Amino acid sequence: MTALARMRGCIHAMVVAAEPGTESPGNRADGSSALDAEALAGRAWLAALPDELVAQRRIMGAERVGTVEATVAAALPELGALVDVLRHRTGPADQWVRRIFAQFGDGTQLDLAVVAEAEVEARRRGGGAPDFIPLYQASAPPGSGEPDAPMPASGSAPGSQPAAAYAVTGEQVREWAFLGWCALIDTDKYLRRGSLWEAHGRLHEARHHIWVLWAAAHGALYPWHGLSQVLDHDPRSLPPGIESTVAGLDAADLRRAARASTEILATASEAAARRHPADLPAAMAAYVTRALSREP
């Protein structure tokens, strides 16, 4: 995997946040930076922390990742007409990775992962992802010290599970809704390419987020499990019209189901936001609804 690759219509990239004290190379004869020694010392100090302080090592990288994330997000409008942006935590629970997904009006999608340099190096040492190529490496501002406070998480990472329904937040509701709209715009994309299996898969994913949002709206115990929690909570209370989101492996039928899904996703999102007040991705919703309404 490279840090920057155009994959079926979406640009995927990794942004590496350098450790505090790291600067761009200077003009030494050997090509090294004037602060190389300081950076190496900082990394050595972090690496030398005992295993019981592994959580503290991760916390020290979280603030830098957050700073880089905010900088990248602020620059997105310069790249074109921006429809909407999703920013959330992703990856395994023992890593601090922030994802930025941007949808542009011309159909371009940008999918970025912001990760601390220390995390990349740890993966290299463990034999994973040896061919990462940083798209951008942020330097610590002059005079900056080590971060002294963690950045709060915005949502659950894949594979992690909040303790109970009260853990659902408005930000999590927004993330689930946004991911539902992403699945539907991909359904449209794959239908236009004639890739029915991929369209079918993304339609199913959109429906999963409808179930998740509906479960959250009705106070199900573990809403992130979706359908099973809706049925366990109250099998008589289903999203109105949910049966219309099912389709066979037929282009016209898939497009019909995708169009029906836009209404039901909007309904489920609004219901979840009433219980867990959220800033729903209205711009993304409108963009996707318009795209699916057009004839192929």
Residues 170 and 288 in one domain: yes
Q: Is 136 left (phi over 0), alpha (psi -120 to 50) or beta?
A: beta
Averaged pLDDT, 83-101: 87
Residues 8 and 133 in one domain: yes
Residue partners of 209: CB distance under 8 A and separation at least 6: 176, 177, 179, 180, 183, 226, 265
Domain with 42 in it: 4-138
pLDDT at 212 > cutoff 70: yes
Residues 233 and 181 in one domain: yes
DSSP string, 166-183: GG--HHHHHHHHHHHHHH
DSSP string, 89-144: EES-TTS-EEEEEEEETTS-EEEEEEEEHHHHHHHHHTT--TT---S-EEPPPTT-
Q: Tokens representing 5?
A: 């690759």
Residue 144 lies in a domain: no
Averaged pLDDT, 261-266: 98
Residues 131 and 170 in one domain: no
SS3 244: helix
Yes or no: say if 29 and 38 are a contact pair by the CB < 8 Å rule.
no
Q: How far apart are CA 164 and CA 217, in angstroms?
A: 14
* 0.75 exceeded by pTM: no
More confident residue, 186 or 129: 186
Q: How far apart are CA 192 and CA 221, in angstroms?
A: 38
Q: How confident is the model at residue 29 (pLDDT cuts 50, 70, 90)?
A: very low
Q: What share of the chain in percent tops pLDDT 70? A: 66
Structure-token match 């709206």, residue found: 217
User: Domain holding 221: CATH number?
Assistant: 1.20.120.330
Neighbours of 49 (CB within 10 A): 12
Q: How confident is the model at residue 136 (pLDDT cuts 50, 70, 90)?
A: low
Residues 121 and 212 in one domain: no
Residues 24 and 112 in one domain: yes
Chain segment 11-23, per-residue pLDDT in tens:
767 777 765 554 4
Chain segment 173-200, per-residue pLDDT in tens:
999 999 999 999 999 999 999 999 999 9
